[in-house]
Structure 1
Amino acid sequence: MTNLFQAVGHTNLGETVYSVISAQLIKGGLRPGDRLRIRDIAAQMGTSVTPVRDALLRLVQDRGLVFQNARDIRVPHISADEYLEIRMIRVELEGLAAAQAAQRADEADIDRLLILVNENEEAIKAGDFARGTETNQLFHFELARVAKAPELLEILTRLWIRMGPIISEVYEQGGRSMIEHHYDIVQAIKDRNPRAARSAMREDIESAGELILRLRTQDRTLGVSSGKTVPHALAGTPRRSKKTA
């Protein structure tokens, strides 16, 4: 497992730590069952334990993490019913983002979307599924930016804090099926066709969802525990700034 958390500056420290950990959930750097240790993450980020503890507890409130006890904070498994409800919400909200993007995109916006699709394709061909997962997430968020919908993007960010680990877990199995509808989305935006853009987004989310649902266990949870404790795999993170599916 590659390093996840980098050293951070001390300006608005609490928010920065929260953003860094959230980003790893959103883009799938963390998987269901992963355990986070406060002191080890603080050491990697070059902070005291307080902002890390506060960020993790905030993420527990966001339902991106679960708190068993002070020594056991993990990325949760979610039930199939929870997943289906979140998927339904994503279909509506991300469909709205795609439709609005079709109405508001300019040529530069379309070029950025195409670059992300091509980067995702290259990552999958190279077997770099971590990069593929991240680029997938960037594409979905870019649609909300193209749509000029910051409030919508904020809502989607909270949903992806929960969905990122699940999507990451199935990305290697899904391969190109995880992105094939992205071409249809971009084409609909090029054509200024909001209805087609919304429909293509629905296909994208629901087709990936079928693969995700195959991970259901008998107790109706999603995600297979990785069995790893995150900080042991993260030791030795370089103390440098880095901007982070």
Structure 2
Amino acid sequence: MSSAVEPFAETETLSLGERAYRRLRDSIVQGTLSAGSRISERSLASALGISAQPVREALRRLEQDGLVVTLPRRGTIVAEFGLERLAELGRIRAALEGVAAALAAERMTGEDLASLGEVVRGMRAATAAADTEALAELNERFHAILQGATGNMFLVRSLEALRAYDDLGRLRAIGSAPKDMPKALREHVSILAALRARDPVLSEARMRAHVLRSLTTNGVLSAPRKRPA
């Protein structure tokens, strides 16, 4: 267990509970804490170099997110990520991301739009260089700016609760299908265009289609069948 997570750096400024939550969430997403493995509160506290209380708080949040489960006589274990479950949560995320885009189209400031434009320019460069790590960071920033512009904290928190599943899907999509990078770039460009046009209906439709397409790319959703003519 101690080798699965790294201790905190002294320069980190978030609360211990928040830091523990993010570190454990990332370890689960990246697979260093594998599905089905048992989690020891004491061992985690020792590995992170903190007391048990913030670890307990982090595990409670992870259980609310569905990333860990507590079972009789087995204790706390990392949840299994079946495709059916990921597909359900992916559809929920697609709907919420679409709503966020619609609200952002109505509420974004010029500064917000300028920031998104800068992110998209970075995406162009990262796509040309096939820099998957930079693309993952820029993709996260794009969605964070858009969601923050909604001013709706309930929506932002709801999407934050799906963050780990979101990260897992993005990592699979970006890492396993580099040929789809140009397509993802075009989708972000089209979403930005709809936001600049202040068109909530188009922004929602394009964002939702983008999220669902990414889920298809990483194998969470099956590709839609073409209807016979």
> Hey, what's the Cα distance between the residues in 2 that align with 1:66 and 1:13?
22
**Aligned residue pairs, count:** 210
SS in 2 for 1:82: helix
Which residue number in structure 1 is paired with residue 227 of structure 2? none
- Quick check: 1:7 aligned with 2:18? no
Structure 1, unmatched stretches of 5+, are 217-245
TM-score scaled by length of structure 1: 0.69
- Quick check: 1:208 aligned with 2:210? no
Q: Supply the AA of the counterpart residue of 2:216.
A: E
* Superposition RMSD in Å: 3.3
> Which shows bigger deviation, 36-45 or 60-69?
36-45
**Cα-to-partner distance string for 1:5-46 (whole Å, 9 max, x where unaligned):** 632568842233224444x379x5557836677667545643
Which residue number in structure 2 is paired with residue 144 of structure 1? 147
Following TM superposition, by how much is the alpha carbon of 1:186 offset from its aligned partner in structure 2, in angstroms? 0.6
Which residue number in structure 2 is paired with residue 162 of structure 1? 165
> Hey, what's the Cα distance between the residues in 2 that align with 1:120 and 1:197?
19
Which residue number in structure 2 is paired with residue 189 of structure 1? 195
Which residue number in structure 1 is paired with residue 34 of structure 2? 33
> Mapping of 1:98-117 within 5 angstroms?
98-117=101-120
The structure whose RCO (Cα within 8 Å, separation 6+) is larger is 1
Q: Which protein has the larger Cα radius of gyration, Structure 1 or Structure 2?
A: 2
**8 Å contact kept, 1:32–1:77:** no
Which residue number in structure 2 is paired with residue 178 of structure 1? 184
**8 Å contact kept, 1:5–1:20:** no
Following TM superposition, by how much is the alpha carbon of 1:111 offset from its aligned partner in structure 2, in angstroms? 1.4
**8 Å contact kept, 2:7–2:47:** yes
Which residue number in structure 1 is paired with residue 94 of structure 2? 91
Identity of aligned residues (%): 26
**8 Å contact kept, 2:176–2:218:** no
> Hey, what's the Cα distance between the residues in 1 that align with 2:129 and 2:44?
30
